[in-house]
Amino acid sequence: MKHGRSLAALGAVAFGLLLSDSAAAQETAKPKVIPHDTAGRVECLTCHSGAIEGIPAAPASHEGRESDTCLLCHSADSPIQSAVPKTIPHDVAGREQCLICHSGALEGIPAPPANHEKIDVKYCQLCHDSGG
């Protein structure tokens, strides 16, 4: 009896750990919403390059990203703030013009949600990794 209860307690602890682990993973994967005004601050990398003390640097994973991409993910209304982008389930070679197919006009091909309206096709793969 005593044994059974401690096993159950152990299970509860393990489950708790599992939950907090995945919550932590989600937190690190989600970009912070920009905490300051953007007026006069559109050249994000002028400040977030790591060269200015006291200003958080863009992490190493960001190498190659230009300032015109930052708000795609760090704005409050970015799609990535409310969901995890799916991996592209197909090859992308020869399919770089995503919107030819993902426009909503072709039956059986999912259309991007409405919050994608202003996203340029050259940025699709910043969020949707190519898996296949």
Q: Does 129 bind ligand HEC (CB under 6 A)?
A: no
Find out whether 87 and 79 touch, Cβ atoms under 8 Å.
no
Contacting ligand HEC (CB under 6 A), which of 22, 90, 104, 105?
90
Task: Report residue 39 as tokens.
Answer: 């007026």
In whole angstroms, the minimum distance from the beta carbon of 26 to ligand HEC comes to 10
Q: Does 38 bind ligand HEC (CB under 6 A)?
A: yes
Q: Does 7 bind ligand HEC (CB under 6 A)?
A: no
Alpha helices by DSSP H, listed for 30-112, are 44-47, 70-74, 98-101
Based on the number of CB atoms within 10 Å of its own CB, is 97 exposed (0-12), middle (13-18) or buried (19 or more)? exposed
In whole angstroms, the minimum distance from the beta carbon of 104 to ligand HEC comes to 9
Measured distance CA(111)–CA(105) in Å, rounded: 8
HSE-up of 24 (CA within 13 Å, CB side)? Answer: 6
Q: Does 10 bind ligand HEC (CB under 6 A)?
A: no
Find out whether 91 and 132 touch, Cβ atoms under 8 Å.
yes
Pick the closer one to ligand HEC by CB: 4 or 132.
132
Applying CB under 6 A, the residues found at the interface with ligand HEC are 28-29, 31-32, 34-36, 38, 41-48, 55-56, 58-59, 61-62, 65, 67, 69-74, 78-80, 83, 85-86, 88-90, 92, 95-102, 109-110, 112-113, 116, 119, 121, 123-128
